[in-house]
Amino acid sequence: MHTLTGKRVAKFARDFGFAVSEDKQFELYVAANYLYPYLRDDVDKIERSVHGGGSDEGIDIAAIVVNGQLVFEPSEIEELISEQASNTARVIFIQAKTSESYDAKLISKFLHGIESVTKYAINPQSIALPAALVDLAALIDKIAENGDKFQETRIPCEVFYVTTSGHDGADARKELQVTEAVHRINELGVYSEPFELKTHGHDALAAKLKERHGPQNIRFEFTKRQTIPATERVSEAYIGLLSGTEALKLLTDETGAIRPGIFDDNVRLDLGAHNTVNMRITRTLESEEREQFPFLNNGLTIIASSLRGAGDKFFISGYQIVNGGQTSHQLVRWAASRRVRENPELLSDLWIPVKVVSSEDTSVRTSVAIATNLQTAIGSTDIQASSQTAKDVEEYFTQTGADGLRYLRQVQHAALDFPRTRVVTTPELNGQSPRRSSANPSERSVHPRNSKPRIPSCGVAIQSRRITTPPGSSTGWIDTSLAIPTPQP
């Protein structure tokens, strides 16, 4: 075992109380680091994720992740996906060897084990498997049979062969027995393409250890920026526009997967591609309105423990995206689409609003995370009230004179300069029950449903549930009513 790695493994075993052989300690150490986003140093989960033993078919570590959570039972999958229309899944296979070299035969055995588990998941009668791997296959089968509830038609899969070598194992990956094994797994059609084997040495393992504290030394270019004055607790801060290409460097690793841990301080996880807001983001990205993205999207707020700049080039470490999680996930999905892969300039021509703050003060990081996610809730009626049609209605009501009605288009805290009984709001125009009551029913300015009461005092009636606006005004305000003048007696 590599000297530095050996010392780190020994310390890890002491800290967690793993009194086992060196090989087993290494397997647990690799599991704790490669699966850290899902395990979070939970000793029980670390131990359950390690399958190493005489009947493991070369699969030392395996993880099934659904909606960002590690699962061990099919019932857990059912529970996680029961209330969501769109879900995510990921399968991770790892073989961990203390050797400082790569063995093509052991790699082939490892890949054969993955192939066997996958075949069993497809057809349990086709192959014999050890009990621990049968349980693993059952989880894969549960994801496959609920394929309509997952975002990907095939299951994303990561495969790592981890050693303490000083090399990256590229030669071993080119061995015929290894390439053929990878090809056979691809042919099964279960996992997302391309199905790739990653061979990692001690440098890659050390990088995984650092990822516990967020990605390290990620380089990106930030040309369109303005400096925000630093404070005693904020060392550097910038606001500006980041190209889609540069933003993707911060969001994804070399495999195209979301960097682990960068959304830990965000208030919500990915809400899925079919979430209403996310669908609007995607429509913008896929349309000619893409050039308007900086004006239509609030962008990303990034908090980093370290930020170093040289001209327009920056290196960022230990960062969290505390606001803009939905934008980030939709951007990654769009970037992975065939259209963008074939036309990468679409990504480089996209500009995203970004605020980057560097501080080692954890209280600052927490404060920014909370503040950027606090806002007064905006309901559908608030959005409805900002339309041109709503403005036309407001003007129409104003023209009814001093004894007429007024339309309170915008929510306000200040006192009204008109009797409340003569003021209607957007929900009331929509036919919803007013939040107040009046002693005299004839003074109520709104009547539910399709009734047409006469209100002599202001000569107005509520008619229909569809807006009739002055010629030339915009249309499309759905499910609303409009007060219209009635003949005076």
Q: Has residue 194 got a pLDDT over 90?
A: no
More confident residue, 108 or 433: 108
Nearest to 89 by CA among 32, 145, 30: 145
Q: What percent of the chain stands above pLDDT 90?
A: 44
Q: What is the pLDDT of residues 137-167, one digit of tens each?
A: 999 999 999 988 888 889 999 999 999 999 9
**Dihedral Cα 413, 372, 351, 192, nearest 10 deg:** -120
Q: Cβ neighbours of residue 449 under 8 Å, at least 6 residues apart?
A: 431, 465
Identify each DSSP E strand in 21-169 by its residue range: 61-66, 69-71, 89-96, 157-162
Residue 466: predicted pLDDT: 40
The confidence band for 262, taking pLDDT boundaries of 50, 70 and 90, is confident
Q: What is the mean pLDDT of residues 86-113?
A: 93
Residue of 231, 404, 220 lying closest to 314 (CA atoms)? 220
Within 13 Å and on the Cβ side, how many CA atoms surround 132? Answer: 17
Please compute the mean of the pLDDT values over residues 289-310 and round it to a whole number.
Answer: 90
Residues 375-392 have a mean pLDDT of 69
What stretches of 123-235 show up as alpha helix (H) in DSSP?
131-145, 170-173, 176-187, 202-210
Kindly report the length of the chain: 489
Calculate the average pLDDT of the chain.
81
pLDDT of residue 396: 83
pLDDT at 210: 74
Confidence of residue 199 (pLDDT cuts 50, 70, 90): very high
Strand partners, 241: 224, 353
Question: Does residue 114 have a pLDDT over 80?
Answer: yes
pLDDT exceeds cutoff 90 at 64:
yes
- DSSP line for 388-412: HHHHHHHHHHHTT-TTS-EEE-S--
The pLDDT confidence band at residue 432, using thresholds 50, 70 and 90, is low
Taking each continuous run of H as one helix and of E as one strand, the counts in the chain are 20, 15
Across 280-284, 349-353, 384-388, which has the greatest mean pLDDT?
Answer: 349-353
Angle at 121 between CA 118 and CA 124, to 5 degrees: 120
pLDDT, average across residues 116-138:
88
Give the range among 51-65, 104-118, 255-269, 275-289 with minimum mean pLDDT: 255-269
Give the pLDDT of residue 425: 84
Q: Could you tell me the pLDDT band of residue 422, with boundaries at 50, 70 and 90? A: confident
pLDDT of 33 strictly over 50:
yes
Distance, CA of 210 to CA of 398 (rounded, Å): 63
**Model confidence at 435: pLDDT above 60:** no
CB 395 within 8 A of CB 474: no
Give CA separation, 392 vs 395, 408, 436, 471, in Å. 5, 12, 25, 10
Q: Are strands 89-96 and 69-71 parallel, antiparallel or unpaired?
A: unpaired
Has residue 458 got a pLDDT over 50?
no
pTM of the entire predicted model:
0.58
* The pLDDT of residue 369: 74
* Position 328 confidence tier, pLDDT thresholds 50, 70, 90: very high
CA distance 338 to 165: 36
pLDDT tens track for 220-234: 999 999 999 989 889
**What stretches of 219-275 show up as alpha helix (H) in DSSP?**
244-251
pLDDT band at 14 (very low <50, low <70, confident <90, very high): very high
What pLDDT sits at residue 155? 92
